[in-house]
């Protein structure tokens, strides 16, 4: 890996070799050492602002300008898709969330929005609990809103409500913050992060062809950004014992591929893009139909905006002026 700038020297943090003559068994490398070091370097350089909660960060102006550059590069790559642009807030109706069966597969990641809906008396109780440092959140009531777990989820009910699609099907361009409850010290595993996606809806053949095109374009983008990468078969983190079977079947059917980039020293490479084929799953949740009335198939390509930004910082350093010219041009002349 290249030197990542004068502010962050990867490898510094490895445990020093001891000079003792006792040949202790080599300890397995701790992937968290590299993660912690990179996280600290980002915070020290004020690229990310830490909070009291792992995985919730503020982003600096520099970080955001890289993120904006990435979004512009992705738009350029997808200009021929004639995608309908849809922008949703990072929340969606609870009813749609239930229909999506997200809770069946990933209950551990879901975030629901709860609010105070009580009386004056309840309010006094709430304030008393707060004052005494007691738990108060169990008094909050669920609302009709949940946090978006992926950028494409709000698209399906909107398209389904329009009735059958045309024979060409459609492509939708989405970008939103997503929530996943996976607190971690890994700076690349956030609890709220942005996904930019192109979502394809249509026939099975249209989705499979779309995904192939985007795997190639993903590789092309990573190449233009001069990021070391590989594309590999993947699976989602389905919950529980039953989840193992679902994950195995997802792999067997080759439904998910990821583009991985090494970000943290001593840790496995990180998924920065994913290429997904959902078959007709979402047509069972909502009446998504093709032109001839068949259940529509769907797929999406997702770009992890924070992870790609972190990968760029990791490989090209913290000073934009020192980044390769081609990379800066790809990002719209940063």
Binding residues for ligand AMP (CB under 6 A): 150, 180, 182, 188-190, 193, 195, 258, 271-274, 302, 304, 306-307
Instruction: Please report how the helices 31-44 and 305-316 are oriented relative to each other, as an axis angle in degrees rounded to 10.
Output: 90
**For ligand AMP, the closer CB: 4 or 188:** 188
Residue 84: which H helix or E strand, with range? strand 84-86
Q: Which of 37, 73, 91, 152 binds Zn ion (CB under 5 A)?
A: 152
- Span from 70-78, 192-200, 209-217, 310-318 in contact with Zn ion (CB under 5 A): 192-200
Give me the least distance between CB of 159 and ligand AMP, in Å please.
19
Give me the least distance between CB of 150 and Zn ion, in Å please.
5
The reply on whether position 331 binds Zn ion by CB under 5 A is no
Give dist(CA 138, CA 248) in Å, integer.
37
Residue 202 contact partner, candidates Zn ion, ligand AMP, none, CB within 5 to 8 A by sort of partner: none
Give me the least distance between CB of 278 and Zn ion, in Å please.
8
CA triplet 241, 153, 311: central angle to 5 degrees? 80
The reply on whether position 300 binds Zn ion by CB under 5 A is yes
The reply on whether position 171 binds Zn ion by CB under 5 A is no
**For ligand AMP, the closer CB: 50 or 126:** 50
Residue 193 contact partner, candidates Zn ion, ligand AMP, none, CB within 5 to 8 A by sort of partner: ligand AMP
Give dist(CA 218, CA 207) in Å, integer.
16
**For Zn ion, the closer CB: 200 or 314:** 200
Give dist(CA 310, CA 294) in Å, integer.
42
**For Zn ion, the closer CB: 273 or 300:** 300
**For Zn ion, the closer CB: 109 or 313:** 109
Give me the least distance between CB of 199 and Zn ion, in Å please.
6
Q: Which contacts of 54-59 are long-range, i.e. CB under 8 A and separated by 24 or more positions? A: 54/183, 54/184, 54/185, 54/191, 55/182, 55/183, 55/184, 55/189, 55/190, 55/191, 55/192, 56/190, 56/191, 56/192, 57/187, 57/190, 59/306
Neighbouring residues of 23: CB distance < 8 A, sequence distance ≥ 6: none
Give dist(CA 129, CA 116) in Å, integer.
14
Catalog residues that contact Zn ion under the rule CB under 5 A. 150, 152, 197, 300
């Amino acid at each position: 890996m290249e030197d990542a700038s004068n502010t962050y020297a990867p490898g510094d943090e490895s445990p020093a070799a001891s000079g003792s003559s006792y040949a202790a068994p080599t300890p397995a490398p701790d992937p968290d050492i590299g993660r912690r070091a990179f996280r600290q370097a980002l915070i020290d350089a004020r690229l990310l602002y830490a909070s009291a909660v792992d995985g919730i960060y503020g982003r600096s102006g520099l970080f955001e300008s890289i993120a904006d550059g990435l979004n512009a590069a992705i738009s350029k790559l997808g200009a021929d898709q004639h995608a309908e642009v849809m922008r949703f807030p990072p929340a969606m109706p609870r009813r749609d969330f239930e229909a999506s069966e997200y809770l069946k597969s990933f209950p551990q990641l879901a975030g629901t929005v709860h609010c105070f809906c009580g009386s004056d008396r309840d309010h006094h109780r709430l304030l008393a609990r707060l004052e005494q440092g007691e738990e108060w959140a169990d008094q909050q009531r669920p609302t009709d809103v949940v946090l978006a777990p992926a950028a494409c989820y709000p698209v399906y009910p909107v398209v389904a409500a329009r009735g059958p699609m045309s024979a060409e099907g459609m492509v939708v361009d989405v970008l939103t913050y997503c929530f996943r409850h996976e607190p971690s010290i890994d700076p690349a595993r956030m609890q709220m992060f942005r996904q930019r996606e192109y979502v394809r809806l249509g026939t099975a053949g249209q989705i499979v062809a779309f995904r192939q095109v985007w795997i190639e374009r993903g590789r092309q983008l990573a190449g233009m950004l001069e990021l070391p990468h590989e594309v590999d078969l993947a699976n989602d983190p389905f919950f529980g014992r039953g989840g193992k079977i679902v994950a195995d079947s997802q792999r067997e059917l080759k439904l998910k591929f990821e583009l991985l980039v090494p970000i943290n020293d001593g840790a496995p490479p990180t998924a920065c893009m994913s290429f997904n084929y959902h078959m007709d799953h979402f047509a069972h949740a909502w009446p998504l139909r093709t032109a001839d009335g068949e259940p529509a198939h769907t797929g999406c390509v997702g770009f992890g905006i924070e992870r790609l930004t972190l990968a760029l910082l990791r490989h090209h350093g913290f000073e934009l002026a020192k980044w390769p010219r081609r990379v800066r041009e790809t990002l719209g002349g940063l």
